[in-house]
Amino acid sequence: MKKLFFVILFCLAAGFAKAQKNISLAGYTANPEVAGDSITLVWWEDFYSEKEMWRLPFHEQTQALSQGIGYFHFTISTSHPLYFSLGRKDKTGHFNALLDLYPAEPEDSILMVNAGKASTLFYGKRAGKYRCRSRLDAETLYARKLPDTTGQFAILHSFKNDLDATAYAWLQADILGQYYSSHPAKLPNNGLAISKNYCAALVQQAKRSIAPFSFIDSLRGALKDKVLTGFLAEHLPYLEDATGALQKALVQVQSASAKSVLENLLKEHTVGSAAFDFSLPAGDGQNVSLHDLSGKVVFLDFWYTGCSSCREYYRDVLSKTEEDFRDFTGVVFVTINIDENKASWLQTLQKGGYTSATAINLFTGGKADKHPVIDQYRVAGYPCSFLIDKHGKIFSSSEADLRGGGAARLNTLISQALAAP
């Protein structure tokens, strides 16, 4: 009887998708919980960066699960291939994926059985793509060491008769991108722009390049749009002229989606834009917010215990600048630490080496790099610094100015911010 029930559900889901020419994702979860439990579908039609994916445009739907069998049925209206994640949100709103960043195409019609388990079964139109992805995930999860492309391609080849040309090439590009660090020679520049891993690998290649923009300019079409946008989304704080790079990119990209992402980045990072007003605990448990420091120039530095670059930056640059401005009441030095453990952070503060006792030292409250302040300032590496003017606006976020130019350059910028009206 239960088997007949799922056959009926599948037929209904498949028929609906065919009529609408959309993506249909239906099924039931393993071990459904109490009445009122829900499941959430999140999808990205244009995927620019996995590191930045929650800051970039995405769509979301939530449905209540039917009690007892945990049935769900989502329909996505789209004409583009996309990535989706299916999961639940906890009480804090954190999304826990059951299926993480699966590829989907228009007219996919899928029924999932035991969704979220390693034994998830997939049925329906183009289900081969989902079965193959599930097998690839399992190979990575259960391997004693990180599998290489040989094992991954063997799995992909075993599904060749179940995949159309687009799905096969898409999964192939995802494999190449995922293991790019091990096999750089196997990644050509003319791969699929729809593959998140492939584009991510090219973004990493651009980051390693002496001339990243020249490398990106060698790409073409949608692939260039994806890599350029992903590179800027991840690497913006480390560019000497972030505003200029964004303005140039806006002229170059062709897709409306990429232009929208770049416009938002420009709005957030342009000198003179409002800095995010954080409120974080200090060592005594009292919260300090940016607006508490209104009227002062604020130097903001992100760090964590064990970060060798953070120690070097404090030793070679920041400690000298703090000493030079020790008697200036118009400037304050604020640090934000992302350690998960408060005791570890406090112990590090006592030992010194990363910041001073005279700085305002704050903590992300155990949320580490998952705290909203990290998202809002788009911190992608450490140390990461910002100079905020007396009105709470970004004065500089330039890697070259704040970190690369030494104490002398940093002192000059702070003096300019103090002198500004």
CATH number, domain of 196, equals 1.25.40
Q: How far is CA 295 from the centre of its chain?
A: 33
Which is it for strands 331-337 and 297-303: parallel, antiparallel or unpaired? parallel
Q: Considering 237, 269, 301, which residue would you say is the last residue of a domain?
A: 269
**Looking at residue 20, what is its pLDDT?**
45
Same domain? For 290 and 210 the reply is: no
In 242-392, which residue ranges form alpha helices assigned H by DSSP?
242-252, 256-269, 308-313, 319-324, 342-351, 372-376
**32 HSE (CA, 13 A, CB side):** 19
Return the CATH number at 291.
3.40.30.10
* CB of 345 closer than 8 Å to CB of 305: yes
User: Is residue 365, in this structure, part of any structural domain at all?
Assistant: yes
**Looking at residue 68, what is its pLDDT?**
64
pLDDT in tens, 158-167: 999 999 988 9
Same domain? For 114 and 153 the reply is: no
How far apart are alpha carbons 84 and 42 in whole angstroms? 6
User: Is residue 131, in this structure, part of any structural domain at all?
Assistant: no
Same domain? For 167 and 261 the reply is: yes
pTM to 2 decimal places: 0.71
**Looking at residue 34, what is its pLDDT?**
45
User: Is residue 130, in this structure, part of any structural domain at all?
Assistant: no
- Residue 331: pLDDT over 50: yes
Cβ density class 251-261: b for 16+ within 10 Å, e for less: eebeeebbbeb
Handedness of CA 370, 294, 317, 359 (dihedral sign): negative
DSSP string, 343-383: HHHHHHHHH-SSS-TTSEEEE-TT-GGGSHHHHHTT--SSS
Residue type, 144: R
In which band, very low, low, confident or very high, does the pLDDT at 239 lie, cut at 50, 70 and 90? Answer: confident
In which band, very low, low, confident or very high, does the pLDDT at 120 lie, cut at 50, 70 and 90? Answer: confident
Q: How many domains does the chain have?
A: 3
Is the model more confident about 34 or about 256?
A: 256
User: Is residue 128, in this structure, part of any structural domain at all?
Assistant: no
User: Is residue 136, in this structure, part of any structural domain at all?
Assistant: no
For 27, 165, 251, 273, the CA distances from 21, given in Å and listed in that order, are 19, 20, 34, 43
* CB of 69 closer than 8 Å to CB of 32: yes
The angle subtended at Cα 105 by Cα 150 and Cα 225, nearest 5°, is 80
Q: Considering the chain, what is the average pLDDT of its residues?
A: 84
* CB of 74 closer than 8 Å to CB of 85: no
pLDDT in tens, 358-407: 999 999 988 888 888 988 887 878 898 999 999 999 998 877 788 888 89
Domain residue limits at 13: 2-123
Residue type, 86: L
